Amino acid sequence: MPSSQRLAQTLQLPEILDLSYAAPLAESFLALRGMNLTVGAAGVQRVSAQCVQVILSAVSTWRIDEAEFSIIDPSPEFRDALSLLGVGLAEISIEEAMQ
């Protein structure tokens, strides 16, 4: 199905993406698989390596499914966590929120 004809959904990330949230985050992504997805990261204050791994897995899955995946308005803490783990922002579609 062409990406433009898929349902679009938004997933808001919580403030704390620690180890205990990795499994629920993966379940959230699985429930939205096949849809164009926008992930809101404005309120993220802390991110574990496991949650970054889940997000990267979702990015890969969405690419395989040829669906749109973007992270909007990432907080500085979210950006810093990705950078600290060596994940370039170019690897994930990052969009700034329109002011």
Q: What is the pLDDT of residues 65-76, one digit of tens each?
A: 999 999 999 999
Specify the CATH number for 7-95; select among 3.30.750.24, 3.40.50.720, 1.10.287.610, 3.40.640.10: 3.30.750.24
- Residue 28, pLDDT > 50, answer yes
pLDDT digits (tens, 9 = 90+) for 39-53: 999 999 999 999 999
The string of DSSP letters for 12-68 reads EPPSEE-HHHHHHHHHHHHHHTTSEEEEE-TT--EE-HHHHHHHHHHHHHHHHTT--
- Residue 94, pLDDT > 60, answer no
Count helices and strands (H / E) in the chain. Answer: 3, 6
How confident is the model at residue 6, as a pLDDT?
A: 74
**How far is the C-alpha of 83 from the C-alpha of 66, rounded, in Å?**
26
For the whole model, what pTM was predicted?
Answer: 0.86
- Residue 3, pLDDT > 90, answer no
pLDDT digits (tens, 9 = 90+) for 5-20: 778 899 999 999 999 9
